[in-house]
Structure 1
Amino acid sequence: MFSDVGGPLDKDQLGLNAPTSSSTGASAPSTAIVKPVRATVSPGGEADNPADAANAIDGNPATSWSTDIYSDAVPFPNFKNGVGLVLQLPQPTAIGSVTLNLNSTGTSIQLRSAQSPTPATLDETTELTPPTPMKPGTNTITINNPTPVSNLLVWITTLGSVNGKSVSALSEITLKAAS
């Protein structure tokens, strides 16, 4: 490597200095986490553990919201058409993906939007994704063609099981804005 000044090369000329940020360059798109302001139990039928709904969005994986334990091996749709949580967003936001941590095997979850934080029936919500099979642990559902929503319904269409009991618990739900 040679310098046209006649002396040794400095760090900048050797390319050893870290690049600096520039406000004129394009940056990679980022997906911001959207923190719901409230979680309530979903429409239709009797509510499952409404006092624990906020545990699904509190940022603490040690706490959770769970469905009731159903004696019917297939409670949805035999007993009722599903159960879930309505997440109220701070402002209308296009959600690109939802990450859920749950403990059950065989659970399927559908994402829906609602105009109201308290829809009276499932008919007052709009499908955003088809029912998606979950596995125990962390799962991510991507929303294709996201549009701004104010209330997001995390709807359990098929209830899985834990230790042979028809029940599921959501310990954390994380929403990411569409990029």
Structure 2
Amino acid sequence: TFAAEDDPADDDGPPTTARRRFAVAGVLVMALALVIAAALWFGNNVLSVAGNVDQDGAGSTPPSGSATTGGPASSSAPAAGAPATIASAGVFDPFGDGEPENDDEVPLTFDGDPTTTWSTLNYRGSADFGNLKPGVGIVYDLGSEQSLAGVTLTTTTPGATVEVRTGGTPDGDLDAFTVATDAELSGTDELTFAEPVSTRYVLVWVTGLVANDDGFGADLAEVTVTAAG
């Protein structure tokens, strides 16, 4: 009887253990809930911020095919009266014997310096290329078809005669180029076409030479192609 009335361990042991287990389980549930809540917050906030950073970076970086470059990259037509860009040029000599006609000097005709020139070879016997051929010239490639109003030619050999032809191709026949205008050069000459011409290629065709110390020859110091707009 004494043991049954006075021993608290026998009466309180089992309920205390149950309460402890319940408390531990509650802590675990709360901890799990906190972990889940933290994971949801991380997913909704941190990852979305990271996504915004990537989008901003992509928006500030030009696409791979849109890098800007200078000069000939623009396909816009020049304004009326402005110089058309010359992309390249070369000697046009369909009646020649294969001997270079000072080909390496061609870039000097559109370098912006009138003191540098391209010259024909010297011919003996007559101003008509020594009666060997009807002429020689330079064909200018504008890179694309342009509407043109004329050309301005500068020479240090006044008296030489030229035709300005359009159309054709650098490796074609002379007849493929149409005569747009012709002139006897006096120094610097502005040659205007009767009407605007749409073309990619312009041929300055020298048809007559002038006397010099070594026979007959001609030169071109500057060639400017004028846009019609």
- TM-score of the aligned structures, taking structure 2 as reference length: 0.59
Code of the aligned partner of 2:88: R
Letter in 1 for 2:174: L
Distance in 2, matches of 1:66 and 1:146, equals: 29
Which residue, 196, 209, 222 being the options, matches 1:146? 196
- The Cα offsets for residues 59-93 of structure 1, whole Å up to 9 and x where unpaired, read as 12222111001112223482101011000002211
Do the aligned residues in 2 keep the contact of 1:57 with 1:173 (CA within 8 Å)? yes
In structure 2, stretches of 5+ residues that fail to align are: 1-78
Q: What is the SS of the residue equivalent to 1:56?
A: helix
* Number of residue pairs the alignment of both structures matches: 148
What does the per-residue CA deviation read over 1:114-162, in whole Å, with 9 as the maximum and x for residues that have no partner?
Answer: 332332x212222212x31111x21111111122111100001111234
User: 1:163 and 1:140, CA in 2 relative to 1: closer, same or farther beyond 3 A?
Assistant: farther
1:115 pairs with one of 165, 168, 191:
168
Query: Matched residues in 1 for 2:92 and 2:137: separation?
Result: 5
Hey, what's the Cα distance between the residues in 2 that align with 1:147 and 1:171? 24
Q: CA deviation at 1:51?
A: 1.1
Task: Summarize the alignment of residues 137-176 of structure 1 with structure 2, pairs less than 5 Å apart.
Answer: 137-163=187-213, 165-176=215-226
- Secondary structure (helix, strand or coil) at the match of 1:53 reads helix
- Residue number in structure 1 paired with 2:179: 127
CA distance in 1, matches of 2:202, 2:130: 21
**Greater Cα radius of gyration, structure 1 or 2:** 2
Identity value in percent: 30
In the alignment, structure 1 residue 42 sits paired with structure 2 residue 92:
yes
C-alpha spacing 1:133/1:147, structure 2 compared with 1 (3 Å): same
Alignment match of 1:63 (pick from 105, 116, 137): 116
Q: Please give the alpha-carbon distance, in whole angstroms, between the structure 2 residues aligned to 1:105 and 1:161.
A: 10
Whose helix proportion is higher, 1 or 2?
2
CA contact (8 A) 2:129 2:216 kept: no
Greater share of strand: 1
- CA gap 1:142/1:77 in 2 versus in 1, 3 angstroms: farther
The runs of at least 4 consecutive aligned structure 1 residues that moved more than 6 Å come to: none
**Over aligned residue pairs, what C-alpha RMSD do you find?**
1.9
Counterpart CA distance in 2 for 1:77 and 1:122 is 19
**1:37 and 1:125 mapped to 2: Cα distance?**
19
Q: Does 1:94 align with 2:147?
A: yes
Q: CA deviation at 1:176?
A: 0.8
TM-score for both structures, normalised by structure 1: 0.75
Kept in 1: contact 2:117–2:221 (CA 8 A): yes
> Is the contact made by 1:104 and 1:162 (CA closer than 8 Å) also made in structure 2?
no
Q: Would the aligned equivalents of 2:124 and 2:130 in 1 still touch at CA under 8 Å?
A: no
